[in-house]
Structure 1
Amino acid sequence: MRLLISLITALIILTGLLDSQRSFTAEAQEIGPHFTDIIVTTSDTHLLLFGELQESLTEEMLEALHSGIPIKFLFFVRLILNEPNWPDDELVAIEFSHSLTYDTLKNTYNVEIEETSKKDITAASLEEAQKLLNEIHGLKVIELSKLIPERSYRLKVKADLYKKTLPMSLHSIIPFISWWDLKTDWYTIEFTY
């Protein structure tokens, strides 16, 4: 009987620890760069992805931008077919970038959005430029004709926002060091088509 009580007590404590870990993880995801408002939908012909990054620009990045150094975000999108009792099948792997530059003479920002045929947009304010930089707006992921109805899929999205590295001459002396990286975790959505 004591063993049963000990096991139940341990199970209750373990459940409490797991719940607190889950809430801590959810809070940790809200600190730093993260995706919000991720939507997977369809057009007449394609599966589309919409989403937005939050907390993507740091003070250091803004200082570099206003000093003439461009900011480049790399986005990674994966579409995976979930096969029961079989290895998952990666259907799509897309990589694209968004770049932000600042024109000191005109006091304007230029955003290059690669996933829509290298679209260049000029913005008058940093807020407008940041919104354009952070948005994934209607990315065509895959043709609907390539999806199998009533099957389960997993769409993953991630962004690499900043990588500060050593000057090239120092990489030969200290080969495997980068100062720090700023990136999001993989954000995953599961759906049935």
Structure 2
Amino acid sequence: MLFRKKKNLIFIFLSGLLFSVFFVLPAAAGEAVRVDEMAVINAERDLLLYFSVKNSFSAEMEEGVKNGIPVSFNFFVELYPVHQGREGGKIAGHSFDHTMVYDSLKEEFTVELEEHGSMSLSFQSLEEARKAMDTIHDFRLAELSRLAKGSDYVVKVRARLAKKTLPLNFQYIIPFWQLWKFETDWNALTFTYGNSAPATQR
């Protein structure tokens, strides 16, 4: 009974939002979603990657989360060697998700981080949950044994909203999907392995 009630509330919310798409003038577009603050650091055995996503949540997405719709972000990470300005064969490629759900009974947001063994974090505020969704830290990009000291490499990252976020009945309604979807460009960080200082974007 509780599940059916929650499902009905989600349907009512989605239907209302869909109605607004057709009959309300569209708001001005916000800032583009982008990958930012990329950095790589040498750990004892692994090359660790850090980055964040900016402007990922729209007001409609936030309202959807509060009405029980889970939100998932897909992240894609690739590492290549660079020789004389040209990329070589891919050394490593990864993909993983971050997923946020809201429990209205507990008034609590839960964020699952797939790259850390599907670790779950709980938050009382949406702002804290958003930060967890947008931030990647201590991600094991590649073993250091696969890199050559003094050689150049490039790590590329992009992010997108997972289409599975929307219920099946609404995934293919284009105006509704346009309110939610995002996919960043690839953001690249070139670095030389063996430098003492961490490589960061400037």
TM-score bracket, normalised by the shorter chain, equals 0.7 to 0.9
Kindly state the Cα deviation for residue 98 of structure 1 after the two structures are TM-superposed. 0.3
Report SS of the residue matched to 1:127.
Answer: helix
CA 1:120/1:39 → structure 2, altered by over 3 Å: closer, same or farther?
same
Q: Deviations over 1:1-35 (max 9, x none)?
A: xxxxxxxxxxxxxxxxxxxxxxxxxxxxx922112
Greater strand share, structure number: 1
The residue number in structure 1 matching 2:47 is 47
Report SS of the residue matched to 1:90.
Answer: coil
8 Å CA contact retained: 1:166, 1:177: no
CA 1:151/1:168 → structure 2, altered by over 3 Å: closer, same or farther?
same
The residue number in structure 1 matching 2:196 is none
Which whole-Å CA distance do the structure 1 matches of 2:132 and 2:37 have between them? 15
Kindly state the Cα deviation for residue 170 of structure 1 after the two structures are TM-superposed. 9.4
Which whole-Å CA distance do the structure 2 matches of 1:187 and 1:41 have between them? 17
8 Å CA contact retained: 1:33, 1:56: yes
Report SS of the residue matched to 2:91.
Answer: strand
8 Å CA contact retained: 1:165, 1:177: no
Identity in percent: 32
Q: How many residues align?
A: 161
Which whole-Å CA distance do the structure 2 matches of 1:70 and 1:133 have between them? 12
TM-score in terms of structure 1 length: 0.74
The residue number in structure 2 matching 1:139 is 139
Alignment of 1:42-81 (within 5 A): 42-81=42-81
Alignment of 1:21-170 (within 5 A): 31-84=31-84, 88-163=88-163, 167=168
TM-score in terms of structure 2 length: 0.71
8 Å CA contact retained: 1:81, 1:152: yes
Bigger radius of gyration, 1 or 2? 1
The residue number in structure 2 matching 1:4 is none
